[in-house]
Chains A and B, each alone.
Chain A
């Protein structure tokens, strides 16, 4: 049974958590990389740390882990 979504369903609640995080990571990481390497960082405090890129990467890894771990058909 997929956890949280009901008996007989294929997609677990954790798959949705991972999927949304992965989607956001895949949006933020390339945008952050573009802003970093083309010097288009927004004028925010500590923008020299490139938070959009690193946070996007972290969300991609977190999201990918949960998406793969709870992918439909596993377990």
Chain B
């Protein structure tokens, strides 16, 4: 993602006393919450799964908020400036179908298996080998991502406000460590819900005032078409007929199958960081409803992310009245002082004076801190249950595991701080961390979905499929990284493909390889007795009634409503 290489040229603004008051209030409330919920965080289920007592609304908002970090906000606002409405695909087809699939199809298995984590489900279905591969890779990724978030926050605060990098890193890390160590997942979830509200409160004024300034949506489209000399920036599908017809260099097959199916389903249904939020639901119906509620809110996010990027194409001007062109980080110079990634701060400063600016900055800080907290709380769960509890100390008391969860939170934050300083000295590490994530997500989805839907999948099939998919993804990444344009054209099926397309097609191929290897190995190995699959696989599990009695209570009804709105939005912005 482009936001991972944020490079800003100058300090953009400064905070007034009222802005600092708003920021301080946020920190005070967050720390207070940590101390407040500590009393309800004594058992492992309370610490790691928030006592499984969250309502559908809390779990759903937390589920969508865990993904709504500041890196995403700033990165995709920049992508909207660069690619136009094509960036919206990452919020709609790249999220909504997968979230609904998680709620309706997969959640019953995660929930009724009473697993504490996604690696935990893999252990139940495919044995210790699959769990070990998944847990080690996930623990490593989350701790690295926490550090990346920490450094990104420090960098953004440095360039927007001139804050010292180390000051931002340590204040953010200590605050997050305190509230997660005290309250575990419960603290993280409460803060994610707060952060969701804050992000809307801090960012919604940008599109509202921007659309007023532009004279409405129709005028905005006309101004963009005039400024960039093309109407392509305000359509989602019409330019996807060929790789060379759109600025992203992708084809609709890559968007539909690579993004909409593999990448999206992989992230939203198997990344424990988001799935953990839903596992905290207080009953099966809440667990099914949470991703559907999350999907409904996810569809609205482009309003505060994509619209500001589009508005920047129309309204940002130089002092002499000419159009202000934002450029890639590597092209920033005296003539072009701002990069794509500065779209959101630039638009914030354009419309928000003292007070509102503090609210916007607080929303960004909340987004970064919530990103750190989400990663660290997921790390401490997987470390304690799937690594420490599974391989190092299997028979400790519940109290011991809670203590381990608290200590692993602190150790995790210290490692994250180390990562943040490492990234500060070698920014390219951020790109590698992002690439590492992509190695595991697509194959993991192949393994989990076959495990849930296909009784014949065996333990050996699951393990070798996961390993083959991951290794092939790494192999393709190395091939396209060092093989130049020829390698990219082979992986993405076109000489006109650009790096964005490579991610999508690599995910698709690695998923297909994972599924193919799982199927072949399963057929040549001994089937798992059906009795051992109860509660884990479709066809071997009676799905318990979720307790819905009226149409309004049925998750499937709301999933249909969301998918209808999803189709309407895609047609309107076709």
Q: Are A42 and B209 in contact (CB under 8 A)?
A: no
> Which chain B residues border A44 with CB–CB below 8 Å?
349-353
Q: Are A7 and B51 in contact (CB under 8 A)?
A: yes
Q: Are A9 and B209 in contact (CB under 8 A)?
A: no
Q: Are A4 and B25 in contact (CB under 8 A)?
A: no
What's the Cα separation between A24 and B194 when bound, in Å? 13
- A8, A16, A27, A43: the one contacting B18 at CB < 8 Å is A27
> Which chain B residues border A23 with CB–CB below 8 Å?
25, 29
Check if B212 is an interface residue, CB within 8 A of chain A. Answer: yes
> Which chain B residues border A21 with CB–CB below 8 Å?
197, 201
Q: Are B36 and A11 in contact (CB under 8 A)?
A: yes
Q: Are A6 and B39 in contact (CB under 8 A)?
A: yes
Interface residues in A, total, Cβ within 8 A: 35
Q: Are A24 and B351 in contact (CB under 8 A)?
A: no
Contact indicator per residue, chain A 7-40, by CB within 8 Å of chain B (1) or not (0): 1110101001101110110011001100100000
Check if B213 is an interface residue, CB within 8 A of chain A. Answer: yes
> Which chain A residues border B352 with CB–CB below 8 Å?
44, 51
Check if B127 is an interface residue, CB within 8 A of chain A. Answer: no
What's the Cα separation between A28 and B39 when bound, in Å? 34
Q: Are B26 and A20 in contact (CB under 8 A)?
A: yes
Q: Are B26 and A4 in contact (CB under 8 A)?
A: no
> Which chain A residues border B194 with CB–CB below 8 Å?
16-17, 20
Q: With A6-B46, A6-B51 in contact, do A24 and B25 touch (Cβ < 8 Å)?
A: yes
Contact indicator per residue, chain A 43-67, by CB within 8 Å of chain B (1) or not (0): 1111101011001100100000000
Instruction: Tell me what chain B mostly uses at the interface: helix, strand, loop, or mixed.
Output: helix
The listed residue with most A CB atoms (<10 A of its CB), out of B36, B51, B53, B197, is: B197
What's the Cα separation between A41 and B213 when bound, in Å? 18
Return 23 A-B CB contacts under 8 Å, by A number: A4-B53, A4-B186, A4-B193, A5-B186, A5-B190, A6-B53, A9-B39, A9-B40, A13-B189, A16-B29, A20-B29, A23-B25, A23-B29, A27-B25, A28-B355, A42-B353, A42-B354, A44-B351, A46-B209, A51-B209, A51-B356, A55-B205, A56-B355
Contact indicator per residue, chain B 190-202, by CB within 8 Å of chain A (1) or not (0): 1001100110010
> Which chain A residues border B450 with CB–CB below 8 Å?
none
Look across to chain B and name the residue whose beta carbon is closest to the beta carbon of A56: B355
Q: Are A17 and B40 in contact (CB under 8 A)?
A: no
Residues of A within 8 A of B (CB): 1, 3-9, 11, 13, 16-17, 19-21, 23-24, 27-28, 31-32, 35, 41-47, 49, 51-52, 55-56, 59
Beyond A6-B46, A28-B359, 6 additional pairs, beta carbon < 8 A: A5-B40, A9-B39, A13-B58, A49-B209, A51-B356, A55-B359
Q: Are B353 and A6 in contact (CB under 8 A)?
A: no
> Which chain B residues border A3 with CB–CB below 8 Å?
55, 58
Look across to chain B and name the residue whose beta carbon is closest to the beta carbon of A1: B53
What's the Cα separation between A13 and B33 when bound, in Å? 9
Min distance, Cβ A36 to any Cβ of chain B, angstroms: 11
> Which chain B residues border A56 with CB–CB below 8 Å?
355
Q: Are A4 and B190 in contact (CB under 8 A)?
A: yes
Q: Are B201 and A4 in contact (CB under 8 A)?
A: no
> Which chain A residues border B54 with CB–CB below 8 Å?
4
Q: Are B193 and A17 in contact (CB under 8 A)?
A: yes
Q: Are A17 and B41 in contact (CB under 8 A)?
A: no
Contact indicator per residue, chain B 266-286, by CB within 8 Å of chain A (1) or not (0): 000000000000000000000
Check if B37 is an interface residue, CB within 8 A of chain A. Answer: yes
What's the Cα separation between A7 and B42 when bound, in Å? 11
Check if B22 is an interface residue, CB within 8 A of chain A. Answer: yes
- A4, A8, A55: the one contacting B189 at CB < 8 Å is A4
Look across to chain B and name the residue whose beta carbon is closest to the beta carbon of A41: B353
Min distance, Cβ B205 to any Cβ of chain A, angstroms: 6
Look across to chain B and name the residue whose beta carbon is closest to the beta carbon of A20: B29
- B51, B55, B315, B353: the one contacting A35 at CB < 8 Å is B353
The listed residue with most A CB atoms (<10 A of its CB), out of B201, B209, B212, B213, is: B201
Check if B564 is an interface residue, CB within 8 A of chain A. Answer: no
> Which chain B residues border A43 with CB–CB below 8 Å?
353
What's the Cα separation between A41 and B354 when bound, in Å? 9
Check if B21 is an interface residue, CB within 8 A of chain A. Answer: yes
Q: Are B18 and A31 in contact (CB under 8 A)?
A: yes
> Which chain B residues border A4 with CB–CB below 8 Å?
50, 53-55, 58, 186, 189-190, 193
What's the Cα separation between A9 and B274 when bound, in Å? 26
Q: Are A51 and B351 in contact (CB under 8 A)?
A: yes
What's the Cα separation between A19 and B46 when bound, in Å? 25
What's the Cα separation between A1 and B54 when bound, in Å? 11
A-B complex: 9 closest residue pairs judged by Cβ atoms: A6-B40, A42-B353, A44-B353, A52-B355, A4-B58, A28-B355, A31-B355, A46-B209, A45-B350
What's the Cα separation between A5 and B41 when bound, in Å? 10
Q: With A4-B54, A7-B40, A13-B58 in contact, do A46 and B21 touch (Cβ < 8 Å)?
A: no
Give residues of chain B (468-520) contacting chain A, Cβ–Cβ below 8 Å. none
What's the Cα separation between A16 and B53 when bound, in Å? 17
Contact indicator per residue, chain B 175-192, by CB within 8 Å of chain A (1) or not (0): 000000000001001100
Q: Are B353 and A46 in contact (CB under 8 A)?
A: no
Q: Are A51 and B186 in contact (CB under 8 A)?
A: no
What's the Cα separation between A32 and B18 when bound, in Å? 11
Min distance, Cβ A42 to any Cβ of chain B, angstroms: 3
Q: Are A55 and B356 in contact (CB under 8 A)?
A: yes
Look across to chain A and name the residue whose beta carbon is closest to the beta carbon of B356: A52
Min distance, Cβ B266 to any Cβ of chain A, angstroms: 29
What's the Cα separation between A35 and B352 when bound, in Å? 13
What's the Cα separation between A55 and B46 when bound, in Å? 37
> Which chain B residues border A47 with CB–CB below 8 Å?
353
What's the Cα separation between A13 and B194 when bound, in Å? 9
Min distance, Cβ A48 to any Cβ of chain B, angstroms: 11
> Which chain B residues border A11 with CB–CB below 8 Å?
36
